[in-house]
Amino acid sequence: MWMRKLERSDLTTIKAKKGWLKMHLILFGPPGAGKGTQAERIAKKMGIPHISTGDMFREAAAKKTELGFKVKEYMDKGELVPDDIVVRVVEERLKQSDCEKGFLLDGFPRTVFQAEVLDRILERLNRKVDAVINLEVGEEEIIRRLSNRRVCRVCGAVYHLIFNPPKVQGRCDKCGGELYQRDDDREEAIKRRLKVYLEQTKPLIEYYRKKGILVDVDGNKSIGEVEKSIEQILKEIKD
Catalytic residues: 35, 110, 149, 182, 193
Residue type, 56: M
Give the containing element (helix H, strand E) for 167.
none
Q: Is 149 in the site for ligand ADP (CB under 6 A)?
A: yes
Report d(CA 21, CA 40) in Å as an integer. Answer: 19
Partner touching 173 among ligand AMP, ligand ADP, none, CB below 5 to 8 Å by kind: none
Contacts 24+ apart (CB under 8 A), 64-72: none
Q: Which one among 10, 130, 184, 216 touches ligand AMP, defined by CB under 6 A? A: 184
First CA to last CA distance, the chain = 21
The answer to whether residues 204 and 211 touch, using CB atoms and an 8 Å cutoff, is no
> 162-221: which residues touch ligand ADP (CB under 6 A)?
163-164
CB of 105 to ligand ADP, least distance (A): 12
Nearer to ligand ADP, 112 or 223 (CB): 223
Q: Is 34 in the site for ligand AMP (CB under 6 A)?
A: no
Partner touching 160 among ligand ADP, ligand AMP, none, CB below 5 to 8 Å by kind: ligand ADP
Nearer to ligand ADP, 130 or 184 (CB): 184
Q: Is 103 in the site for ligand AMP (CB under 6 A)?
A: no
- Distances in Å between the Cα of 78 and the Cα atoms of 31, 35, 113, 117, 221 are 10, 17, 19, 23, 26
Q: Of the listed pieces 17-25, 109-117, 124-132, 154-162, which binds ligand AMP according to CB under 6 A?
A: 109-117
Nearer to ligand AMP, 31 or 102 (CB): 31
Where helices occur in the chain by DSSP H, the ranges are: 8-16, 35-46, 53-62, 66-77, 83-94, 112-124, 139-147, 187-196, 204-210, 223-238
CB of 220 to ligand ADP, least distance (A): 7
Partner touching 74 among ligand ADP, ligand AMP, none, CB below 5 to 8 Å by kind: ligand AMP
Report d(CA 91, CA 102) in Å as an integer. Answer: 14
Q: From residue 86 to residue 125, what is the string marking binding to ligand ADP with x (rule CB under 6 A)?
A: ----------------------------------------
Sign of the dihedral through C-alpha 69, 75, 77, 79: positive
Interacting residue ranges for ligand ADP, rule: CB under 6 A: 29, 31-37, 145, 149, 158-160, 163-164, 222-223, 226
